[in-house]
Structure 1
Amino acid sequence: MNLKNIKTIPIMTIMSILLVVLFVMSFLIGRYPLSPSEVIIALFTGVFHIKTNLAPAVYAVVWDIRMPRIAAAMIVGAALSISGASFQGIFRNPLVSPDILGVSAGAGFGAALAILMDSSSLLIQIMGFSLGLVAVSLTYFLSKSFRGNATLMMVLGGMAIGALFSALTSCIKYVADPYSKLPEIVFWLMGSLSKVNSQSVFMIIIPILIGFIVLLTVRWRINVLSMGDEEARSLGVDTEKLRILVILSCTLLTAAAVSVSGIIGWVGLVIPHIARIFVGPDHKKLLPFSIILGAFFLLSVDDICRTVTAVEIPLGIVTAIIGAPFFIYLLKRGYEGWT
């Protein structure tokens, strides 16, 4: 059956139900064993502050250890996916990912610099987020200083700024202590949620919500912009302001995600393509479904990474192992339904 022709099945509802099921099941995964009843009771009574006979350790595991990590995995996956789908729409390019403008490279440099200075986890997150915003700002102003196609200049500027910050990160790794700081920097750059806590999640809530709200509000305009600037202008859309608004929202989402999880590749590139197979290229459906699918995918990957072996596997390794072959498959079958 051709997935493109699925119209009667409420795929978004089904995917939402699967995400809820995975959310609950993820609490059962870990070194400390929990039963489904303990998880459900701890979640329900914790929300409504009802006293029970559950051991305090159960509440600590559910709310202080697993809840922040599960929430972070869902938030990061959703943020990277909707950012990738939005960028692919406004740049009219199926190969665009959320780090195209250098945000991941900038965030990586900021986090590596903070780790080198022996900073706290909070400062590492703040530095990663701030330098991610700085990188995209430099990309934007660099692209405005050159003549030519604005979109092309922005992409090329992002490549240049990304390469610059990647080189600066390599310099930090070169001078870092090979027995303490260097392994920590390398592990952060490969992507992980092992150090996530409630404070980390609360720190990114505001930029994440702003990004989600803006992109979901203007998602129908991204449809118009994906047809080309001339067609969009003829329909009364201010293409320059809309492009800046989308880029700013995607930058907030990506910088916030990278600051808490490190650099996780392929999610923002592959998940939007999978979403298009199910719901088509209409961004009014594509962006909400990308949020759900991205959250489901990264939460699944994180569950695998923290349980398959005794030592936790970095998220970036597993997403690349899954994402690269699937992307090759899309290229091989000549998938052209991205726009």
Structure 2
Amino acid sequence: MASSEIAVYEHESRRALGTLLALLAILLVGIVLSLAVGRYYIPVRDIGKAFLGGEVSDKIAQVLFVVRLPRVLAAVLIGGAMSLSGAAYQGMFKNPLVSPDILGSSAGAGFGAAVGILLSFSVAGVKTSSFVCGILAVSLTWFISQRFGKGSDNLFLLILGGIIVSNLFQSLISLVKYAADPTDKLPAITFWLMGSLSKATMQDVKIMLVPFAVCTGILIFCSGQLNILALGDEEAKTLGVNTVLLQGFVIVTATVLTAFSVSFCGMIGWVGLVVPHLARMMIGPNFKYLIPASALLGSSYLLIMDGFCRSVFAVEIPLGIVTSLAGLPFFLYLLTRQNKGW
């Protein structure tokens, strides 16, 4: 490698690291503001006193540690998870318009939750049912692509299988809603499907933390191979990348992240589509930096959206509605850039 190329690489690396540090700082500021802002304002100095063991009122402690902290941490984890899934899928499919629900995981998880609510499962039972059905939906998509495809690397049939499975589970969700009691179960199912972090608990955060950390580590480990995959499947195979194994790792990891996210907060759209593309515009296409940048930016994005939902109006707006309304204009912008490459 020529000295000029080394200098360019080092400059790009320093710029990317600087961007990551800036995104981390933005996230930390966002966490503090999210803890402070709400219908009951908590001064930043009281937040600092509470975390450092100082004396604060019981009301502040209750609002801070029981209501807001679990919700803020859940927003950080779920926003990061959805964005990581989107970045991984966009890299695997080599298309910036791909989102985490392309293989049917969101629709499957939504169906599982709807069935759990219809059958009066416990809160944990609804989340478990949602997660399991999300995994089953992607497994069905994979089976369809293998059964009717010419090879396991046929991404086109994988997408078609995802469309089939997504529509299947969306139809099943409609069937469950039709059968639900309109005075009790139907409103609960509808509200859950619109997405919300209002019922997040510290137990939820602890459960989500392990798969989030493991899946993030796997995607960072695969970042070099995702960079090579961007050159094309044939070139990647020539350079020694097992594309089938890589696709399997990405699909399993992204599915676990998506299914966990949907099972805990409902169907929140557009995060996994919009945020990875924003991160790519800020930091470039190198997955070594794009993966952590997507996670940090996704966490900040969902914090902002959730803060808007619970603070602007007298009645809390479902999170999925706000993320969809915010994502639509950016999607139109993506369409205008599609012919210019990504």
Please give the TM-score of this superposition, normalised by the length of structure 1: 0.93
CA drift at 1:15: 1.6
Q: What SS does structure 1 have at the residue aligned with 2:103?
A: coil
- CA distance in 2: counterparts of 1:147 and 1:126, whole angstroms: 31
- Amino acid corresponding to residue 202 of structure 1 in structure 2: K
CA shift, 1:330, in A, is 2.7
Matched, 1:224 2:232: no
Distance 2:13 2:245 in 1: 35
Q: Which amino acid aligns with 2:233?
A: D
Confirm or deny: 8 A CA contact 1:104 1:263 kept in the other structure. yes
State the shift of 1:335 in Å: 6.5
In structure 2, the residue matched to 1:69 is 71
How many positions carry a matched residue from both structures? 328
1:20 corresponds to: 28
Gaps of 5+ in 2: 1-11
Query: CA offsets per residue over residues 272-307 of structure 1, 9 Å max, x none?
Result: 111111111111111110011000000000000001
Residue equivalent to 2:5: none
Structure-1 residue corresponding to 2:122: 120
Does 2:251 match 1:244? no
Change (3 A) 1:87 1:144: same
Overall identity of the aligned pairs, in %? 46
CA contact (8 A) 1:43 1:62 kept: no
Match of 2:42 among 34, 39, 52: 34
Higher helix share: 2
Is 1:180 equivalent to 2:188 in the alignment? no
Query: What SS is found at the alignment partner of 1:32?
Result: coil
Seen in structure 2, the aligned counterparts of structure 1 residues 261 and 312 have a Cα distance that, compared at 3 Å, is same
Q: CA deviation at 1:333?
A: 4.2
CA-to-partner distance for each residue in 1:184-239, whole Å, 9 max, x for gaps?
11111111111111122222222222211100111111111122211111111111
Instruction: Note the C-alpha offset of 1:178.
Output: 1.0
The structural deviation recorded for 1:120 is 1.9
Write out aligned runs for 1:172-321 (5 A).
172-321=176-325
Unaligned runs of 5+ in 1: 46-51
The Cα shift of 1:140 comes to: 0.9
Aligned position for 2:163:
159
1:24 to 1:335, Cα distance in 2 relative to 1, 3 A: farther
Which residue identity is paired with 2:140?
Answer: L
**Hey, what's the Cα distance between the residues in 1 that align with 2:324 and 2:145?**
30
Structure 2 distance, partners of 1:275, 1:84, is 11
- Give the structure 1 partner of residue 51 of structure 2: 43
Question: Which secondary structure does the structure 1 equivalent of 2:314 belong to?
Answer: coil
What residue number does 1:141 align with?
143
Asked if the contact 2:77–2:208 (Cα under 8 Å) also holds between the matched residues in 1, the reply is no
